[in-house]
Amino acid sequence: MTADNVGTVPPGPRRSVELDSDEALRLLGSVSLGRIVFTRQALPTVRPVNHVLDDGDIVIRTHEGAALTSRTRQAGAPGVVVAYEADTIDPHTHLGWSVVVTGYAHLVTDPEELAHYQGLLQPWVNETMDHAVRIRPDLITGVRLTTAEEPGSA
């Protein structure tokens, strides 16, 4: 690849294949970084975060001053509606997968649960992350971006 064609997608037919929810969650659990989407002052907000998949729930760590911590603390039942997206897409071929989970986010308040998640999930930023947020998926969607020739792409 030369400098002239860096970032170009190789020629050939492409297709987007829907994933079932089990495969989508399996793929989401295979990566540790994603993006959480929530509302802040009635506007959509997106934050990159690391996560762990625990018994079908997505758990992220957060800190006292974070907007998401404040939003989940203020929310009553059933919680704050959020979307969570993770993907692995090759920047040159544009092949890979993307998963979006929509559900309710709750602040983890049980001290034992919080300690459990603090042991499972190390923050990727140099900040004290003394809270955890659990997302219970209600809607799980995903796509695999593939060439038309790849097995399973029909």
pLDDT at 2 over 60: no
pLDDT at 153 over 50: no
Task: Name which residue leads in pLDDT, 143 or 130.
Answer: 143
43's CB contacts (< 8 A; 6+ apart) are none
pLDDT at 152: 55
The predicted model scores a pTM of 0.83
Q: Which fold has domain 20-143?
A: Pnp Oxidase; Chain A (2.30.110)
pLDDT, tens digit, 9 for 90 and up, residues 45-99: 999 999 999 999 999 998 887 778 777 777 766 788 999 999 999 998 899 999 9
Q: Where are the domains of the chain?
A: 20-143
Task: Name which residue leads in pLDDT, 108 or 87.
Answer: 87
The answer to whether 77 touches 50, Cβ cutoff 8 Å, is no
Residue 16, CA distances (Å) to 11, 36, 136, 147 in order: 16, 23, 26, 9
Residues in the chain, total: 154
